[in-house]
């Protein structure tokens, strides 16, 4: 369903008729100074090591001088959780909240209710599931992200993780660090990627790029999605569409998760669905941690049903020290890093600035950036 057009007037208000209330909020900036809050991870001593490191608290997306020169207040923090956190001090009077999937500010219905001046929620990157999108829609808020800003970064990272798992790389790396040398301890479960069946669950921007990058490896490529990809891309990659997810799973040696987190996909990989996969399957998940049943994944790695699990997404984030994925066998997990390369940071920083400029002028955002607009969710979140 095509999303409605948002009003271009800088002061025009839009009315949203929710299921139980009618509420009006301005979708674009009214005149005057705005309070903008950014929530990012801290770089600490690493900030000075790269002048293009803008995606952190210290770098502040490179927006501080520009915003403050126009009379706006710009507050940046990494303190987003718990009682009396810095973010909650600013919720009542902020106008714009910028967050990032790598250090997400969880924008709950409770926070939205308290944010009486809030008009705009921006994601520096892609993936806005840290926002209660239903509550945002009911409150008449605009939610937008920098669509496409880090899709190359994530697709490249997924390919790397596939190879790390298939070639059983990590045990060898650990041997070097510990002073060991045991070729058999690595080789007994190291394979070639060529000839293996790789299935992606989701073939949007990232999934398509992954399929293209896997083509030279001569894999058997499968994909499951709501709709088929372009016929020309199917021919180019040799990827075959699988309408039935549960029928695709047992065919795959490697499964890559590339679907957004929605109410439908939350916890979709539970014990029963994992049991449908081939014994010894390898899984890469750079989508969202909550798509997986945390304990079911840990148990399957322990039993060997999952022979390797790699990804950079957890729930919650940052992952607590006792998160079971930290300690399960045959994992190649990292913090959430795939989409925050320096190149990606520059792209999503530029995208955020562009949308803020449009917001101040009362102009439309690029259509593909809207996640919530005039009370309607983007199709991938419905």
Catalytic residue among 103, 224, 288, 323: 288
Residue (of 127, 108, 136, 111) closest to 23 by Cα position: 136
Residue (of 183, 166, 161, 137) closest to 313 by Cα position: 161
Beta bridge partners of 372: 143, 377
The yes-or-no answer on residue 150 being catalytic is: yes
42 assigned ligand-binding residue: no
The yes-or-no answer on residue 130 being catalytic is: no
Q: Which two tokens stand for residue 165?
A: 């798992």
The yes-or-no answer on residue 288 being catalytic is: yes
Taking a C-beta distance cutoff of 8 angstroms, is the pair 336, 104 a contact?
A: no
244 assigned ligand-binding residue: no
d(C-alpha 116, C-alpha 24), whole Å: 11
Q: Which two tokens stand for residue 291?
A: 């798509």
Catalytic residue among 285, 317, 331, 345: 317
Can you tell me which residue has the tokens 């996909």?
265
286 assigned ligand-binding residue: yes
Q: What angle do CA 100, 340, 261 make, to 5 degrees?
A: 50
126 assigned ligand-binding residue: yes
Residue (of 290, 341, 379, 349) closest to 151 by Cα position: 341
* Segment (H or E) for 224: strand 220-224
d(C-alpha 337, C-alpha 12), whole Å: 39
35 assigned ligand-binding residue: no
Taking a C-beta distance cutoff of 8 angstroms, is the pair 118, 95 a contact?
A: yes
177 assigned ligand-binding residue: no
Catalytic residue among 103, 130, 161, 336: 336
273 assigned ligand-binding residue: no
Catalytic residue among 26, 150, 168, 345: 150
338 assigned ligand-binding residue: yes
339 assigned ligand-binding residue: yes
346 assigned ligand-binding residue: no
205 assigned ligand-binding residue: yes
Buried b (16+ CB within 10 A) or exposed e, 77-115: bbebeeeebebbebbeebbbbbbbbbbbbbbeeebbeeb
262 assigned ligand-binding residue: yes
Cite the annotated binding site by residue number.
126, 150, 205-206, 225, 260-264, 286, 312, 336-339
Extract the annotated binding site for substrate: 126, 150
Residues in the annotated binding site for NAD(+): 205-206, 225, 260-264, 286, 312, 336-339
So which residues are the catalytic ones?
A: 150, 288, 317, 336
């Amino acid at each position: 369903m095509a999303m409605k057009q948002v009003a271009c007037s800088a002061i025009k208000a839009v009315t949203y008729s929710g299921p139980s209330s009618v509420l009006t909020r301005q979708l674009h900036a009214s005149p005057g100074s705005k309070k903008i809050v950014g929530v990012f991870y801290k770089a600490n001593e690493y900030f000075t090591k790269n002048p293009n490191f803008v995606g952190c608290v210290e770098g502040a997306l490179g927006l501080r001088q520009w915003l403050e020169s126009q009379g706006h207040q710009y507050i940046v923090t990494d303190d987003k959780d718990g009682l009396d956190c810095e973010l909650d001090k600013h919720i009542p009077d902020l106008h714009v909240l910028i967050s990032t999937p790598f250090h997400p500010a969880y924008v709950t219905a409770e926070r939205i209710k308290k944010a009486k001046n809030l008009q705009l929620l921006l994601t520096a990157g892609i993936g806005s599931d840290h926002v209660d999108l239903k509550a945002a829609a009911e409150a008449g808020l605009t939610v937008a992200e920098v669509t496409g800003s880090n899709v190359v970064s994530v697709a490249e990272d997924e390919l790397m993780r596939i190879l790390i798992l298939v070639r059983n790389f990590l045990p060898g790396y650990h041997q070097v660090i510990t002073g060991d040398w045991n070729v058999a301890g690595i080789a007994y479960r190291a394979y070639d990627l060529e000839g293996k069946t790789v299935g992606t669950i989701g073939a949007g921007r990232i999934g398509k790029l992954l399929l293209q990058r896997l083509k030279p490896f001569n894999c058997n490529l499968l994909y499951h999605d709501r709709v088929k990809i372009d016929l020309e891309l199917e021919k180019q990659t040799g990827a075959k569409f699988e309408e039935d997810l549960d029928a695709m799973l047992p065919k795959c040696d490697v499964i890559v998760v590339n679907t957004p987190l929605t109410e439908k996909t939350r916890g979709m990989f539970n014990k029963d669905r994992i049991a449908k996969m081939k014994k010894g399957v390898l899984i890469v998940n750079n989508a969202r941690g909550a798509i997986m049943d945390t304990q079911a994944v840990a148990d399957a790695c322990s039993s060997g049903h999952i022979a390797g699990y790699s990804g950079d997404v957890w729930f919650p984030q940052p992952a607590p020290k006792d998160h079971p994925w930290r300690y399960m066998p045959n994992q190649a997990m990292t913090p959430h890093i795939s989409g925050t390369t320096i190149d990606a940071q520059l792209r999503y920083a530029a995208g955020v600035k562009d949308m803020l400029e449009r917001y101040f002028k009362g102009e439309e955002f690029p259509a593909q950036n809207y996640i919530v607009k005039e009370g309607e969710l983007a199709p991938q979140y419905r």
